[in-house]
Amino acid sequence: MYPIDFFWRAARRWPERIAIDTPDERIAYAELARRVRALAAALQAADPQEQSRVAICAHNSAAHIVALLAVLASGKTWVPLNPKSTAPEIRRIVDATEPSVLVLDEAGTALLGDAPGQRIALDGPELANLIQRHAQAAEPRFTQPEQATQAIKFTGGTTGLPKGVMQPYRAWMANIVNQIQAWGFDEHTRYVVAAPITHGTSTYLLPVLAQGGCHVLLAQGGAEAVRQAFRERGGTVCFMPPTLVYMLMALPGSSRADYPQLRQLIYGGAPMPPEKIRAVRQFFGPVLGTTYGQTEAPQILTVMRPDDFEDERHWAAVGRTAWFSEVAIMSPSGEILPPGEIGEVVARGDLLMSGYWRLPDKTAETLVDGWLHTGDRGLIDEQGYLFLKDRLRDVVITGGFNVYPVDVENALGQHPAVHECVVFGVPDDKWGESVQAAVQLRPDAGPPPAEAELIAFVRERLGPVQTPKRIHFHASLPRSPVGKVLKTEVRQQALSPTP
């Protein structure tokens, strides 16, 4: 069985149920299956070789979902390209993975330039003509081992050079079952597609379809479109970065009544400080959830369900281990540490990648004796909740003391004027490293606080060692194409301030 078989099974079981709801059309499972079969046959005709790469560079759309499912159905390897990335970033991924077919919308076409490969346009009549040409195609069949590569997804690159993560069939199978088990997706699920299909949404695509649910696509991006999808189109669940959650609450006239069917509001991509969690739960009710994972272990190594948030002691956690994985804390010498001790978060099981694309040395550094070394520091408490501290390289050692930026960010984030913040270390002749912070203030918080006020605010809560020596103010913190704050860029700006 392969990941795409979850969709085929659902299409046979619920042919008339709506699978994709867009502002322009509602696509039933039977019709979606027809389009996927036809495009998969077209991909196989374009390149008969199994496991050849197909790159998709497009914004969210029904055609994008059809194309992704067709890649999975054709026995090929999906290479997602975010159309919000820069042309050099996109070209580097294409040059590294050498896809034989490029599936592009207008934005993707502009980014790819003269990159080699057969092209399929998602805009205009070409896709419809291609599907019509292969309209009588049967479900494509292929034979690959569970270790074969389903996707090559590149890491975010917020703290270093991105690497191509080879996600095997078994990892996708594990993710599908994990998501269904964690969130209870069923035929009433209406997933609001707010995150890019090239990233977070892709891990929810098949779990929702497997259960007969529906993906609700937006006419455009932004908080207002998300609110409208919940208010007028029956949205029940959504995955989004914390910044979008905050934007929903800040919309003029926004209230819980705008989300009548909301069951789960899942955040990811960045932590949510306890004070923000309190505000979100007060606004939306007991629907907040989160997961922890990496591209190397997609999306759901651990899960924090809404009922886990009932105890405030768990608010700084990222949940407990999901199915098909084992998560532990390891010492630098390779020993598994007992509950409560801080070390590196490691994981093993079916969810893991098979390695980095054409980087055997990096693979050997990251996968050791079956354990994925995440590069994150944290602890697991007696109840099995995982608490992240920071990336190993992000720990600030100042005056001989370890300072975990997440602890400082949680304290600084309690100030009513702070919208978002990031904490990092910079070289210091006296302390070795000094703790510094970059802050984006709330526009509606009144007179902006002075640097000294924020420093005193943290000092009162954490003491002098963990208090930032400097605070840098940003009108808007720099972010990656998927909304993550670029800590490397923030730190570089602090080291090289503009005159």
Please indicate, yes or no, if residue 147 is contained in any of the structural domains: no
What pLDDT band is residue 159 in, cutting at 50, 70 and 90?
A: very low
Q: Residue 359 pLDDT > 60, yes or no?
A: yes
% the chain with pLDDT above 70:
98
Nearest by Cα to 99 from 85, 83, 120, 84? 120
Residue 158 has pLDDT above 60, yes or no: no
452: enclosing H helix or E strand: helix 451-462
| Domain containing residue 63: CATH number | 3.40.50.980
The CATH number of whichever domain residue 419 belongs to comes to 3.30.300.30
Q: How many residues does the chain have?
A: 499
Q: How far is CA 411 from CA 249, 251, 273, 275, 277, in A?
A: 22, 26, 8, 9, 13
Q: Is the pLDDT of residue 157 over 60?
A: no
DSSP SS3 for 56: strand
**pLDDT-based confidence at residue 118 (cuts at 50, 70, 90):** very high
Q: Write down the residue that tokens 């007991």 correspond to.
A: 286
Q: Domain containing 400: what range?
A: 396-495
How many domains is the chain partitioned into structurally? 2
- Of 122-131, 154-163, 218-227, the one with minimum mean pLDDT is 154-163
Is the model's pTM score more than 0.75?
A: yes
Which of residues 141, 170, 194 is at a domain's end?
141
Residue 20: inside a domain: no
- With beta carbons less than 8 A apart as the criterion, state whether 167 and 150 touch: yes
Residue 267, domain member (yes or no): no
**Can you give the pLDDT at residue 481?**
76
Mean pLDDT for all residues in the chain: 93
Per the domain annotation, does 95 fall within a domain? yes
Distance of alpha carbon 433 from alpha carbon 395, whole angstroms: 10
Q: Is residue 351 over pLDDT 60? A: yes
Query: Is 186 inside any structural domain?
Result: no
Domain assignment present for 224: no
Q: How far apart are CA 178 and CA 410, in angstroms?
A: 29
Domain end marker among 72, 106, 141: 141
Is 6 within a domain? no
Q: In the listed set 141, 171, 201, which residue is the last one of a domain according to the structure?
A: 141
Q: How far is CA 209 from CA 134, 287, 335, in A?
A: 23, 21, 41
Q: Is 93 part of a structural domain of the chain?
A: yes
Angstrom distance (rounded) from CA 151 to CA 75? 11
